[in-house]
Structure formats: C-alpha cells, structure tokens
Structure 1
Amino acid sequence: MTNEAVHETHPEIIKRLRRAEGHLRSITAMLEAGRPCLDIAQQLQAVEKAVTNAKKALIQDHIDHCLEAAVNTTGRDQRQAADEFKAITKYL
C-alpha cells in the first residue's frame, strides 16, 4: 500500500472494524452458548451498523481526498458535478 492510499481517517476506520470483529466473535460465542435469538439479532445489528459506518467513512474520505485532487484540475462545470456527487453520497 502506498502512502497516497493512507488517509487520516484510516486509523479510526480500523478501530471500528476491529470492534465489529470483536462483536462477531462474541456473537459466535452467544450462538454456541444457546443465547436467545433476540440478543443475537441485536448484536448482529450492531455489527452491521459498525461495518456500514466504516464503509461510509472510507467512501467519504476517498471522495474528499482522492476525487478532490482530480477535480481541482478541471473546469467549473466538472467542479459543480463533483460537488453534487459529494453531497449525494452522504445519503448512502
């Protein structure tokens, strides 16, 4: 991996994913222990949300840094299109 691919937000994204990884391990243990389905479903929802938030942060970071660098060399119309693209991705 090159330094260009490492952004400020990556350490925080790694923390989120490691937390999700820990939750997944605990869900496996919950299943093996015969815990109630409601408890397991709740934990699965938490893992799903953590992964989704990590994905959103990664995509926003890529847009804010990588796409931004490419757009800075284009004209006004392309700049406006890129700004609109950045705005709409917040609804992912």
Structure 2
Amino acid sequence: MKQPHTHASHPAINKRRRKGRGHLSSTMEDMLEQGRTCLDVAQRLEAVEKAIQQAKKSLIQSHLDHCLEDLVGPLGVGQRDSLDEFGEITRHL
C-alpha cells in the first residue's frame, strides 16, 4: 500500500478547493434558480475558476519545493537557484 503523500501546503490547497466548491454550489443551486443575471453568474463562475487555478498552482509549487529535492537529494547553491527560478516561472502558468 502506498504511503500517504502530504505537504505542509495541503491544508491551504484544500481551503482553496472548498472555496471553489462553495462558489460553484451557490452558482448552480441558487443563482440560476433565482434568475440572476448572466453577468452575475459569469462573475461567480470566474471566481470558481480562479480558486481552482490557485489550488493547482499551489500544488505544483509545493511539489517542486518538496518532492523534486527529495528525489535528487540536497541541492547545491547553483542547483537550488535553478530550482527556485523554475518554481517562480510556474507561477505564470
């Protein structure tokens, strides 16, 4: 059986997921049934997209910070700088 795979960032990622889920639930169950404007619904759906996108980015960055270094072992200064730069560029995905 596989060992649990957790990072310190997972609670924050889960919080973002719950936020997106709440926005989506209120959009589909309430806003559409209430006849809210298309603009209101679109804005709420955009909030859902952003929450999910931020959760994904956080997960990828956490993976880079922890899993890759665990795989290759301790990094030298130059290697650490390269990995940090790679992590920074992923923020633009």
Partner of 2:71: 70
Q: Name the TM-score, length of structure 2 as normaliser.
A: 0.80
| Percent pairwise identity | 52
Give the 4+ runs in structure 1 shifted more than 3 A.
Answer: 73-77, 80-84
Partner of 1:35: 36
Partner of 1:52: 53
Number of aligned residues:
90
Contact persistence 1:13–1:58 (CA under 8 A): yes
Higher helix share: 1
Identify unmatched segments of 5+ residues in structure 1.
none
1:56 to partner: Cα distance: 0.3
Cα 1:15–1:74 change in 2 (3 A) is closer
Identify unmatched segments of 5+ residues in structure 2.
none
Give the distance between the partners of 2:60 and 2:27, measured in 1 at CA.
27
Q: Name the TM-score, length of structure 1 as normaliser.
A: 0.81
Give the distance between the partners of 2:14 and 2:88, measured in 1 at CA.
25
Give the aligned residue type for 2:51: A
- Superimposed CA distance per residue, residues 21-49 of structure 1 (whole angstroms, 9 cap, x where no aligned partner): 11111101211221101110110111100
